[in-house]
């Protein structure tokens, strides 16, 4: 990765291409503090000048007129379109992360995409679908910091042709209390800047372990689907989930299940058939991680 100064110059000029999993994105922005945030969160990611094919052309720009100076704003632009309302300029980095996710889930329909974290041991993957507040990202971050390979924090990408999960490692999005929980859990966790007063409260991003990025070209076989739910002071426990119920819940967490039609149904059916499905309630990370150590033996 370039120095923050050189990165800022490239972002403000010709742009810089960043590879995340199977996608290459060209990024542009004149906003200086965005370069500093990118430099920290994406220091281990491959970058280049973008002479080859680019999947997503993304610009975080600034409005014209008085909004450049009075309560300044940031605009997310994808292929010269602005799909979102402006954000305060100080929130340019969260805007980029959320917009980047939007690009993937609205464009990459060669895959079935689910709203779930994914981690792997060897080549066997566990999917963690989760509603807001379920503790998915907190558990994902802790697992990634204790030896599990991070495939994705937000988007499970499944190849219809063979059912394997394609890695899309990106910084892990931590929100509100989860930021301090992970800092206490692992003082070595590389958590970047925090941004207050977003639509999701306070947000910070944890840089994924470098080995996860180095192995981003290695798909994994789905083996478990675990629906987590954080409940304070509750002893960790799990119960098997009927596959029909798991199918319906997972379909509700899908970004493009309906769009893919028969392909989506067939891919989801094969995914459910090959995975052990569980509901998992936990109240602290240490106990939760102990339970996850049993996954390779078929338990949780």
| Tens-place pLDDT, residues 106-123 | 999 999 999 999 999 989
Instruction: Tell me the average pLDDT of the chain.
Output: 92
For residue 297, the model assigns a pLDDT of 62
Q: Please tell me the distance from the alpha carbon of residue 294 to that of residue 300, in angstroms, as a whole number.
A: 6
For residue 51, the model assigns a pLDDT of 73
DSSP state of 209: P
Of 278, 280, 295, nearest to 243 by C-alpha is: 278
Tokens (6 digits) for 226: 């675990």
Q: Please tell me the distance from the alpha carbon of residue 246 to that of residue 43, in angstroms, as a whole number.
A: 37
For residue 68, the model assigns a pLDDT of 65
Decide: 115 and 255 in contact? Cβ < 8 Å: yes
Mean pLDDT to the nearest integer, 42-68: 84
Of 91, 93, 118, nearest to 208 by C-alpha is: 118
Q: How confident is the model at residue 151 (pLDDT cuts 50, 70, 90)?
A: very high
Looking at the chain, the whole-number percentage of residues with pLDDT higher than 90 is 81
Q: Please tell me the distance from the alpha carbon of residue 21 to that of residue 188, in angstroms, as a whole number.
A: 24
Q: Is 74 helix (H, G, I), strand (E, B) or coil?
A: strand
Q: What is the pLDDT of residues 201-225, one digit of tens each?
A: 999 999 999 999 999 999 999 999 9
Mean pLDDT to the nearest integer, 175-179: 94
Q: How confident is the model at residue 296 (pLDDT cuts 50, 70, 90)?
A: low
For residue 64, the model assigns a pLDDT of 76
Q: What is the pLDDT of residues 59-91, one digit of tens each?
A: 999 987 666 667 899 999 999 889 999 999 999
Is 90 exceeded by the pLDDT of residue 263? yes
> Could you tell me the pTM of the whole model?
0.92
For residue 130, the model assigns a pLDDT of 81
Strands 87-88 and 201-206, sheet pairing: unpaired
For residue 106, the model assigns a pLDDT of 97
């Amino acid at each position: 990765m370039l120095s923050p100064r050189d990165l800022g110059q490239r972002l403000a000029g010709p742009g810089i291409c960043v590879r995340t999993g199977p996608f290459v994105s060209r990024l542009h922005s004149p906003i200086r503090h965005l370069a500093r945030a990118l430099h920290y969160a994406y220091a281990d990611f491959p970058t280049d000048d973008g002479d080859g094919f680019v999947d997503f052309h993304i610009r975080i720009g600034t409005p014209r007129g008085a909004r450049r100076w009075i309560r300044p704003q940031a605009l997310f632009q994808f292929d010269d379109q602005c799909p979102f309302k402006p954000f305060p300029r100080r929130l340019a980095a969260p805007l980029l992360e959320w917009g980047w996710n939007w690009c993937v889930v609205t464009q990459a329909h060669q895959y079935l995409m689910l709203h779930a974290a994914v981690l792997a041991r060897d080549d066997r993957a566990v999917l963690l679908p989760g509603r807001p507040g379920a503790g998915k990202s907190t558990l994902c971050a802790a697992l990634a910091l204790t030896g599990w390979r991070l495939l994705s924090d937000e988007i499970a990408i499944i190849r219809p042709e063979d059912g394997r999960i394609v890695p899309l490692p990106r910084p892990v999005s931590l929100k509100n209390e989860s930021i301090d929980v992970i800092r206490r859990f692992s003082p070595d966790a590389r958590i970047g800047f925090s941004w207050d007063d977003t639509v999701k409260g306070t947000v910070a991003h944890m840089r994924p372990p470098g080995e996860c990025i180095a192995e981003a070209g290695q798909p994994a076989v789905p083996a478990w689907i675990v629906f987590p739910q954080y409940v304070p002071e509750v002893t960790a426990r799990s119960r098997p989930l009927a596959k029909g119920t798991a199918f319906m819940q997972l379909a509700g967490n899908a970004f493009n299940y309906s769009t893919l039609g028969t392909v989506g149904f067939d891919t989801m059916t094969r995914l459910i058939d090959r995975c052990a499905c569980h509901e998992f309630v936990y109240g602290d990370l240490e106990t939760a991680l102990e339970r996850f150590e049993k996954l390779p033996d078929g338990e949780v």
